[in-house]
Amino acid sequence: MTIFNVRHVTSYRYKRPVGFGDHQLMFRPRDSYDQHLHHAELKVDPPPKGIRWMHDVFGNAVAMISFEGRASQLRFETNIRLDHTPHSVPSVEIAPPAKVYPFTYGPDEAADLACTIKAHYPDDEIGRWARRFVRVGRPTSTGRLLMTMCFAIHESFVYARRHEHGTQPPMLTLRLRRGTCRDFALLMMEAVRSLGFAARFVTGYVYVPSHDDTTTKGGGSTHAWCQVYLPGAGWVEFDPTNGIVGNRDLIRVGVARDPRQAMPLVGSYHGQAEDFAGMSVEVRVTKDDAVEEFTEGPRSAE
């Protein structure tokens, strides 16, 4: 078991006082057998009119924050503490009928998984790329297929932060061979969906063992990866950005069938476009006595 602490600060600056619309904040990790939340704290400046909590359609905890008055800065600080038990693929027990691809989900599972099996960005080229990982004329190990695809994205695509909002279409990521963690997660989701797998998007944090370690990408901000549903094993983590299979160093906050449904922070302000002066994001991750701290200048969320 490992104890993680995460401090996440997002600050918005404006050239003059503006009003604020409601904001939705997703920062509270999902309690599970492999991660247990001990503490969660939210600080907002200026003080909000109200904060209420809800569970969205996927069971994610979302804070709904409302404001009154005007201010020239808006700051959100969250602090979480949780214990985390890493699991790797060798410990995953896939049900015998699903160990070899292709396989069929059972009727009950298929009904519940339907929206995560259906391609959200249908494209023949993504399907052709995905079929490269299927053996022709020989049995294909389900685990090997998914691991090989995950590692292929990690090894042959270039990770690059981007200032634009949102996630780029998976076809564009495939053609450019470049993208953010959200882009790579969506590409793998759509690729495995084209093969009949159920997949969903995950937003959270990744622990970076060393500030000088250039092999772990996505530190210093929220991170994203995907899960694939395998009978007998359930939802299994695949992080194509870092080539991680299993939950090692991954702190799961929210899940969704599409990245647009799992934005860490969403909101608006009342004013002119030119009133916006920029934003900054700071994420501090602590594991035991080791601390990793990253500070970024003005940027958009990935």
- Of 131-135, 145-149, 283-287, least confident by mean pLDDT is 283-287
pLDDT tens digit sequence for 44-81: 999 999 999 999 999 999 999 999 999 999 999 999 99
Residue type at position 190? E
pLDDT of residue 301: 36
CA pair distance 140, 281, nearest whole angstrom: 43
Q: Inform me whether the pLDDT recorded for 217 exceeds 70.
A: no
Mean pLDDT calculated for residue range 230-259: 95
Q: Inform me whether the pLDDT recorded for 299 exceeds 90.
A: no
**Residues 70, 74, 76, 77: is their CA dihedral positive or negative?**
negative
Task: Give phi and psi for 206, each to the nearest 5.
Answer: -120, 135
Domain boundaries, the chain: 2-84+263-296, 89-261
Q: Which fold has domain 2-84+263-296?
A: Immunoglobulin-like (2.60.40)
Among the CATH numbers 3.50.50.60, 3.10.620.30, 3.40.630.30, 2.60.120.200, which is that of 89-261? 3.10.620.30
pLDDT of residue 218: 58
Most confident of 93-97, 157-161, 171-175: 171-175
Residue 292 or residue 45, greater confidence: 45
Write the DSSP assignment of 209-276 as a string of letters. Answer: S-TT-SS--STTS-EEEEEEEETTTEEEEEETTTTEEBSTTEEEEEEESSGGG--SEE--EES-GGGE
Mean pLDDT calculated for residue range 82-109: 88
pLDDT of residue 210: 64
The one-character DSSP state at 69 is S
pLDDT tens digit sequence for 160-186: 987 677 899 999 999 999 999 999 999
Q: Indicate the pLDDT class of residue 220, thresholds 50, 70 and 90.
A: low
Mean pLDDT calculated for residue range 290-298: 40
Using a pLDDT cut of 90, give the percent of the chain over it.
Answer: 82
Mean pLDDT calculated for residue range 134-147: 94
Q: Inform me whether the pLDDT recorded for 29 exceeds 70.
A: yes
Mean pLDDT calculated for residue range 94-122: 96
Whether the CB-CB separation of 10 and 76 falls below 8 Å is answered with: yes
CA pair distance 20, 22, nearest whole angstrom: 7
- 188: its two tokens: 């793998």
pLDDT of residue 89: 64
pLDDT of residue 191: 98
| Residue 226 CB-density burial (10 A; 0-12 exposed, 13-18 middle, 19+ buried) | buried
Q: Inform me whether the pLDDT recorded for 106 exceeds 80.
A: yes
Which candidate, 214, 234, 260, 292, places its Cα nearest to that of 56? 260
Average pLDDT, the chain: 90
Q: Indicate the pLDDT class of residue 213, thresholds 50, 70 and 90.
A: very low
How crowded is residue 138: how many other Cβ atoms within 10 Å of its Cβ?
6
